[in-house]
Each structure stands twice: as structure tokens, then as C-alpha cells.
Amino acid sequence: MLIKKGAEANLYLEDWHNRKVVLKQRLSKEYRIPEIDEKIRSQRTIHEPQIIHKAKEAGVPTPTIYMIDILDATIIMEFVKGKQVKQILSDLSDKERRSLCRHIGNLIGHLHTYGIIHGDLTTSNMILTPTGKVVFVDFGLSEHSIELENRGVDLHLMKRTFQSSHFKYAKECFDAVMEGYRRFMGEDVTKDVVGKIREIERRGRYISAR
């Protein structure tokens, strides 16, 4: 059953060896030369599970990978039970919402410390499980980097997500995320990242004004 249709890949909910799983299949692009298309899809099919495993080593909950088919550009992974943070954020009390966002910020700090840039930090890609665990999913755009620019871009997207999808709580939520991030990363690193986020925002305003 198709559960998400994306630009790069489709997600299907399947039964696999009596287990509910998500099958992620990377799509072929007709505009690419077939040999290059196959190489790109294969590389990304290998890369994503590797970075998911590294995120798990960093202490960030991620889906378990069960199988990789490089030729078919598919990944079979754990179906994480729970709800997207996007779906439940507005239903929480102020205290619960701030606590959740601080925890998310702490997990982002874990990723960045291990040189992982998620690349798509949105509340749609974070699952809150019935046990209260936050699981990060969809590492399809992730990369290895410790560059300040990439950390800033990662968190800038998180900020934009709050502003577009959770406008009423945007400042409160992002401030809490950065508080959790600061607790893990320290004041100096966080100050540099905040400065980079502001620089990215200024760039965006400059481009829009041109």
C-alpha cells in the first residue's frame, strides 16, 4: 500500500515475513542517462542505511533496516508505530510541547556531534511512539558534515517548518529546540549556529528583495 509519494522515492506499507514494514523504493528519473541514473540510485540506497546506522550509534532512535536491494534501489525497514510530531504538537500542553521540542533539539545535537546532517528536519520526519520515544525517519537527503553552514541550514529548515506548519507555537517551539541543542552542544557552538541561521535568513530576504 502506497503511504507516501515523493520526488525521489515512494514509501509502501507492506507485510514482510509476518512483520509490518516500510518499503522505500527510489524512483528512476527519465531525464538522467540510464547508467548515471542507476549509479545515483544505487549510491543513495547504500548511503541512507549507513547514515541511519550511524545516527543510531549517536543515540538517536531510527528505524531498523531489515534488507537492502541495490539493484532494485529499495530498502525494507521497520514500520515505526506512533504519530508524526506534526500531527500531535498542537494537542500537547505548553509544558509538554516545550519538553518535546527540547528533546528534539538534544537529538539534533547528537546528530551534529556525530557529523550527521539530516537534510530534511521537519516535524513530519519525527515519530512520537506510544512509549514517548522520538524516532527520526527519512534520511534520504542526509550527508556527513561538521561544517557550520550545514548545521545552520539543517536547523534553519526546522525553524521554517515551525513557522509554516505550527505558526501559533513557532517561536516557543524553536526556542525550546535550541535550548535542548544548547544543553548538548554547549554555549559557544550553539551561538555560532544561531549566528549562521540568522545569516541564512538575511540571505533569503536579500534574494527575495532583488
pLDDT tens column, 130-185: 999 999 999 999 999 999 999 999 999 999 999 999 999 999 999 999 999 999 99
Amino acid at 130: P
pLDDT tens column, 85-101: 999 999 999 999 999 99
Single out the residue of 44, 41, 3 nearest to residue 20, CA to CA.
Answer: 3
d(CA 204, CA 79) in angstroms, rounded, equals 37
Q: Give how far Cα 47 sits from Cα of 19, 28, 44, 68, 142, Å.
A: 24, 17, 5, 11, 9
Those residues whose C-beta lies under 8 Å from the C-beta of residue 70, and which sit 6 or more positions away, are 42, 45, 46
Predicted structure pTM score = 0.92
Domains defined along the chain, listed by start: 2-78 (3.30.200.20), 83-209 (1.10.510.10)
d(CA 79, CA 104) in angstroms, rounded, equals 20
**pLDDT the model gives residue 207:** 45
Q: Which residues are catalytic?
A: 120
